[in-house]
Every structure is written in structure tokens, then in C-alpha cells.
């Protein structure tokens, strides 16, 4: 029996993507919208400002991004995520330095058992987030080359960041 209106049944784009097939129609992309580029420093949002190391990261990173001309209003949530991840990473690293890389706990039998510190997993997870966002913002040498941006010579972000 023929479908009313004739022709072949259309397979949705999502199904084609899951099946690994290419769409026969060109994807309709929305009109390109540009977000305003910021020109001056502004304080971090409250959830970033409340985390000591995240706020310090904001104070160092935002001026760099402003100097490079890569931060727009559309990037604020990503910058917040980056700063919080760096803050959590630093806090977990400091805690790891105090507690050591292993913890001793008791088994049910009463024997001592060594296990890795939970801060190690926290540090590893945050490092992945940091690496991802640093690449997006041009905060690594390879991403700066790809984005064709430079850090102004008068800024030494590493020295300033390490002093906090």
C-alpha cells in the first residue's frame, strides 16, 4: 500500500546520525550570532567568589582573556566552570599534601588496609576539565597557535598565578 502523498519515508536526522549515515539534506544552521566582546575587568559571580582559589583564578585568567580578545558574554559560564575546576583542583592538592596519597582504614576483620586518598580522583577529574577549557580559551601554547592569539609580553600569568 502506498503512503498518501507518495514518495519515500523520511528518516529523521537524529536516526541517521546514530546509524552513522550522512543526511541527504544540508543541515540548516542558525544565522551566525556574535556575542559582545568584553573590554574591561568585572568581578566574578558569587559562586566563584566564594571559593578562594576559584576567585584567585578568575582574577588572573579574566585579564589574560581580555588582553587576548577572546572572552565574550557567551563564555562566562565556561570561564566560571574553568575557575571553579582550578579552585577545586588546588584545594584538593593542598589537602593531598597534608593527608598523603594513601589513607589507612580498618577492614571488617580489624586489619589495617591502605587505600588511595579520595583527593587523587578529585584532582584527576578537575585536571581533565581544566585541560579542556584551557584549550578552548587559548590558555595553552598549542591552542593559542590554533586560535592565532598571543599573550601580551607585559603579563607573566604563571608567575602571578603561582604567587596566590
- Could you report the per-residue pLDDT of 61-82, keeping only the tens digit for each? 999 999 888 888 889 999 999 9
> HSE (CB half, 13 Å, CA atoms) of 149?
18
| Contact indicator for 162, 93 with CB cutoff of 8 Å | no
Give the N- to C-terminal CA distance of the chain in Å, as an integer.
Answer: 74
Residue 48: is it exposed, middle or buried by C-beta count within 10 angstroms (0-12/13-18/19+)? buried
Residue 139 has pLDDT above 80, yes or no: yes
> HSE (CB half, 13 Å, CA atoms) of 78?
15
User: DSSP label at 110?
Assistant: S
Q: Which of 61-65, 75-79, 134-138, 149-153 has the lowest mean pLDDT?
A: 149-153
Domain boundaries of the chain, sorted by first residue: 41-162
- pLDDT of 38: 74
Instruction: Summarize the confidence of residues 8-19 as an average pLDDT.
Output: 61
With CA atoms as reference, report the closest residue to 119 among 104, 98, 146: 98
- pLDDT of 57: 96
CA distance 64 to 77: 17
The Cβ of residue 152 has, within 10 Å, a number of other Cβ atoms equal to: 9
Q: Which of 24-33, 59-68, 94-103 has the lowest mean pLDDT?
A: 24-33
Q: 93-102, long-range: CB within 8 Å, 24+ apart, which pairs?
A: 93/119, 93/123, 95/119, 96/120, 96/123
- pLDDT of 85: 97
Q: What is the pTM of this model?
A: 0.68
Amino acid at each position: 500500500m502506498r503512503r498518501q502523498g507518495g514518495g519515500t519515508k523520511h528518516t529523521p536526522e537524529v536516526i541517521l546520525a546514530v546509524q552513522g549515515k550522512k543526511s541527504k539534506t544540508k543541515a540548516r544552521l542558525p544565522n551566525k550570532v556574535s556575542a559582545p566582546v568584553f573590554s574591561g575587568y568585572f568581578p566574578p559571580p558569587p559562586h566563584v567568589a566564594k571559593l578562594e582559589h576559584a576567585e584567585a583564578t578568575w582574577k588572573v585568567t579574566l585579564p589574560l582573556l581580555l588582553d587576548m580578545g577572546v572572552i565574550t558574554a557567551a563564555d562566562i559560564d565556561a570561564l566560571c566552570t574553568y575557575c571553579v575546576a582550578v579552585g577545586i583542583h588546588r584545594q584538593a592538592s593542598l589537602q593531598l599534601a597534608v593527608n598523603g596519597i594513601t589513607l589507612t582504614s580498618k577492614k571488617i576483620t580489624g586489619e589495617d588496609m591502605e587505600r588511595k586518598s579520595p583527593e587523587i580522583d578529585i584532582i584527576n577529574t578537575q585536571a581533565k576539565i581544566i585541560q579542556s577549557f584551557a584549550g578552548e580559551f587559548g590558555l595553552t601554547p598549542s591552542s593559542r597557535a590554533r586560535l592565532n592569539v598571543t599573550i601580551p609580553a607585559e603579563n607573566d600569568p604563571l608567575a602571578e598565578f603561582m604567587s596566590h
